């Protein structure tokens, strides 16, 4: 932040201090991307022209007053693409090779020979065709999986997915894939998109991976699909409620892999987020076009592909 501090008056604020710090501010950098402090402090934004959030998802700051204002919204798209794609690939392999089962046997000192699955030759549907979804698709293809996408606009000649089906018709397109990966942004259209209808339509024995937003799925419906054996597994990095409550049945299900909203958080990620803001600050100060401008009607940065 030093170059920015030399070029502007910078106020660092906690959530409680934000209403006071926001008065007279031209730009706001929401570094705590999970904070919900901005909507309640919005009445103090008397000079704000630009808001940047340190995440790819913008749902924490996508409230009606911001959407209807002239304030430009940018995000940190690009920081997490490769890291999350590697994480998803790791989960696909972990399921196929039953690493969790091997660890449980190791902890019990049990020698039990088993057969595992091949990854090559299986199929995946990646729901969300932004940069993260594209990075996921490229890595899964690299290990021999066939991959399609689900997005807002269906098409047949996408460079990364080949076929993109409409995410609004998800239940019609999940019946013949082995893995469904959720990386879509959270919008009013995607909230709860993975419900009992979609889980029931998925291929028996298939697996579900969510590295997007917890609110994309209806958790109780997922638990039911796992309990009755329709789905053979789920890997979840995000949840409707975070931290995941201790009483959640997901904790004790042997066919569920849980991580603490960390799929993109590789060593150096915090500095990388500040670097994105610093680059955009230099652009904003010089009057150049900003990177990662969010279409506030859509809730994400429109894809150029």
**Does the structural domain 2-78+267-286 have CATH classification 3.40.50.720?**
yes
- C-alpha distances (whole Å) from 49 to each of 16, 52, 69 are 22, 10, 9
pLDDT of residue 34: 87
pLDDT of residue 303: 78
Average predicted confidence (pLDDT) for the chain: 97
- Report the DSSP beta bridge partners of residue 207: 179, 233
pLDDT of residue 304: 60
* Dihedral (CA of 161, 255, 199, 228) sign: positive
pLDDT of residue 283: 97
pLDDT of residue 26: 98
pLDDT tens digits for range 84-97: 999 999 999 999 99
Over residues 160-188, the mean pLDDT reads: 97
pLDDT at 257 over 80: yes
pLDDT of residue 268: 97
**In the chain, % of residues over pLDDT 70:** 99
pLDDT tens digits for range 51-61: 999 999 999 99
Q: What is the DSSP letter of 171?
A: G
What DSSP line would sit under 22-52, residue for residue?
HTT-SEEEE-STT--HHHHHGGG-SS--EEE
Q: Please give the torsion angle defined by the CA atoms of residues 51, 53, 54 and 60, in that order, rounded to the nearest 10 degrees.
A: 160
Cis peptide bond N-terminal to 243, omega within 30? yes
pLDDT tens digits for range 95-118: 999 999 999 999 999 999 999 999
Indicate if 81-258 has the same CATH topology as 2-78+267-286.
Answer: yes
CATH superfamily membership of 81-258:
NAD(P)-binding Rossmann-like Domain (3.40.50.720)
Q: Measure the N-to-C terminal CA separation of the chain; round to a whole number of Å.
A: 33
* Nearest-angstrom CA–CA distance, 74 and 53: 7
pTM for the model stands at 0.94
* Nearest-angstrom CA–CA distance, 138 and 158: 12
* Nearest-angstrom CA–CA distance, 167 and 186: 13
Domain ranges of the chain: 2-78+267-286, 81-258
User: Taking a C-beta distance cutoff of 8 angstroms, is the pair 153, 176 a contact?
Assistant: no
Over residues 247-275, the mean pLDDT reads: 97
pLDDT at 220 over 80: yes
Over residues 66-82, the mean pLDDT reads: 97
* Nearest-angstrom CA–CA distance, 52 and 292: 9
């Amino acid at each position: 932040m030093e170059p920015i501090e030399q070029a502007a008056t910078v106020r660092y604020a906690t959530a409680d201090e934000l209403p006071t710090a926001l008065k007279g501010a031209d730009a706001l950098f929401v570094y705590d991307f999970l904070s919900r402090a901005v909507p309640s402090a919005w009445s103090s934004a008397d000079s704000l022209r630009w808001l940047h959030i340190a995440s790819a998802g913008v749902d924490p700051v996508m409230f009606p007053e911001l959407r209807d204002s002239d304030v430009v919204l940018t995000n940190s798209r690009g920081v997490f693409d490769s890291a999350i794609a590697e994480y998803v690939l790791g989960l696909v392999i972990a399921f196929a090779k039953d690493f969790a089962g091997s660890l449980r046997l190791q902890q019990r000192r049990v020698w039990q020979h088993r057969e595992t699955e091949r990854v090559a030759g299986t199929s995946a549907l990646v729901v969300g065709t932004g940069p993260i979804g594209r990075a996921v698709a490229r890595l899964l293809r690299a290990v021999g999986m066939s991959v399609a996408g689900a997005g807002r606009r269906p098409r047949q000649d996408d460079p990364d997915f080949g076929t993109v089906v409409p995410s609004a018709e998800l239940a019609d397109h999940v019946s013949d894939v082995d893995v469904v990966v959720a990386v879509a942004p959270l919008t009013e259209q995607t909230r709860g998109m993975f419900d009992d209808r979609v889980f029931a339509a998925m291929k028996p024995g298939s697996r579900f991976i969510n590295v997007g937003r917890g609110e994309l799925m209806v958790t109780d419906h997922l638990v039911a699909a796992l309990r009755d054996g329709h789905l053979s597994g789920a890997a979840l990095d995000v949840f409707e409620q975070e931290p995941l409550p201790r009483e959640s049945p997901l904790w004790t299900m042997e066919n569920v892999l849980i991580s603490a909203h960390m799929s993109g958080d590789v060593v150096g990620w915090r500095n990388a987020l500040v670097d994105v803001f610093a680059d955009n600050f230099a652009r904003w100060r010089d009057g150049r076009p900003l990177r990662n401008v969010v279409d506030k009607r859509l809730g994400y940065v429109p894809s150029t592909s």
